Chain A
Amino acid sequence: GQNIDQPTEMTATEGAIVQINCTYQTSGFNGLFWYQQHAGEAPTFLSYNVLDGLEEKGRFSSFLSRSKGYSYLLLKELQMKDSASYLCALDDKIIFGKGTRLHILP
């Protein structure tokens, strides 16, 4: 089976940097997704890591280490609109973690 763990909630300050961690156990997967979901809306795609290492996309970066079963999403220069849930998901029929609710304080 598969198991995905991420913190339930985090709080950060506008303009700061926050790292959301995701650990997983699985027998195999194609890659790892990060999605953003604002309350009452559908998830939107942020990033997809296939190889180990860091993928940077503007203010958002995502890291994957297959040997450690670990990923993180790094958000820089936080803005109020970044307040949302962030979902880590394994690309094996896309199995989602429970999500991390991120609260941004002014």
Chain B
Amino acid sequence: SAVISQKPSRDICQRGTSLTIQCQVDSQVTMMFWYRQQPGQSLTLIATANQGSEATYESGFVIDKFPISRPNLTFSTLTVSNMSPEDSSIYLCSVDEQGDYGYTFGSGTRLTVV
């Protein structure tokens, strides 16, 4: 299956600042996704990162708060903007490999906003 390198693995940030999370895949993939997992909760889809066009956001998530880049088929970034303590969460990228591997996840970024 694809190998995903996600960084940073964790960060502690001041409120009002922004953090950019990077996701690098070792093969070209069509579909990349960004998820949030709040403490003790399941995963919530933030957006689908589309190569060559704007990301597609789910209800409750907006581009101004979570801008996403997808410059090529192996890389994407998610920025968490103007952070507040409510943004403290784990953020995960995921790729759709089709076939027998389903969706593969990066190791996640644990964000704490103070």
Contacts and interface: CB of A to CB of B under 8 A. Distances in A.
B92 A45 contact: no
A105 interface: no
B102 A48 contact: yes
B33 A98 contact: no
B25 to A, nearest CB: 14
A94 to B, nearest CB: 5
Contacts of A54: none
Interface string A64-102: 000000000000000000000001000001111111000
Contacts of A98: 41-42
Chain A contact patch, size range: 10 to 19
B94 interface: yes
Contacts, number: 41
B42 A42 contact: no
A3 to B, nearest CB: 13
B108 A42 contact: yes
A63 interface: no
Given A93-B48, A94-B33, A45 B43 contact: no
Contact of A45 (B41, B104, B106, B107): B104
Contact of B101 (A41, A43, A45, A93): A45
Interface in A18-44: 33, 35, 41-44
B105 interface: yes
22 contacts: A33-B102, A35-B102, A41-B107, A42-B92, A42-B106, A42-B107, A42-B108, A43-B105, A45-B1, A45-B102, A45-B103, A48-B100, A87-B42, A93-B48, A94-B33, A94-B96, A94-B103, A96-B42, A96-B43, A96-B45, A98-B41, A98-B42
Interface of A: 33, 35, 41-45, 48, 87, 93-99
The 3 closest A-B pairs by CB, nearest first: A45-B102, A42-B105, A98-B42
Interface of B: 1, 33, 41-45, 48, 58, 92, 94, 96, 100-108
